[in-house]
Amino acid sequence: MAVPSRMSLREFRPADRPQVQIAYARAWEALVATHAEQLAAFVGEFASRLPVLDAVDLYFQVVAIPEPMIEPARTRALRELDLDALPPRALPPAITGWQRLRLDLVLDALQFRREYHRRTLGLARMVGARAAEAVLDTHVRNALGFARLLRRIMTVDRAVAHYVREFSLPLTAAQAATQRARATLAAEALAAQHAALPHERAAAGEHGWNDSSFPAWDVGNS
């Protein structure tokens, strides 16, 4: 993914380009804010299992985030982090003194640490899936904003496809964002059409038309 200033404006008229550039910047900032929020929550949830900076690094291992967004998201999350409010670390039991001479105790400790690491990684992946859902929600809002902004100059599908391309969404995320954006915009269009219908009927009455002049609502494919 390119940074907003490097995203393409070729498809747009010069008069429309500043507005599109602003939309790029707002979408970028929304994604950075979402990642920062999810990262801060992730660090808090894993504070009892991992040092803070290790939890930050683990977030970027389990959550897909474009390289240019990593540092802004990290900086924003750390800036807002309150270390004193984090739960204390729950350290695994340590082998000390004469216990180091007991091979069985040493092996047990190593096994415990491996299992602890495995469980931590499994939990991180599940929490990472939650973060991915929050990012997808942000992509949908961004795509909706693009479609609304550009509805006078291109179709909804083209506007959403443009957003998906410029923000380099993976295939599954692109499909989900496109479907959800189209569904939302379809609901808005239907609501607007129903709201306008009484006015259209009133105007038609002034010209002597009646309800039979209006075809039934077509819910099938055209």
Q: What is the largest CA-CA distance in the chain?
A: 102
**HSE-CB of 97 using CA atoms within 13 angstroms:** 2
Least confident of 34-48, 115-129, 140-154, 196-210: 196-210
pLDDT per position as a tens digit, 8-21: 888 888 988 888 89
> What's residue 197's pLDDT?
60
Other CB atoms within a 10 A radius of the CB of residue 33 amount to 15
- Average pLDDT (102-127) is 77
b/e string for 75-108 if b means 16 or more Cβ within 10 A? Answer: ebbbeebeeeebeeeeeeeeeeeeeeeeeeeeee
Q: What letter represents residue 156's amino acid?
A: V
pLDDT per position as a tens digit, 23-67: 899 999 999 999 999 999 999 999 988 999 999 999 999 999 999
Q: Comparing C-alpha atoms, which of 73, 82, 89 is closest to residue 32?
A: 73
With a CB cutoff of 8 Å and minimum separation 6, the contacts of 186 are: none
pLDDT per position as a tens digit, 196-210: 666 555 555 555 555
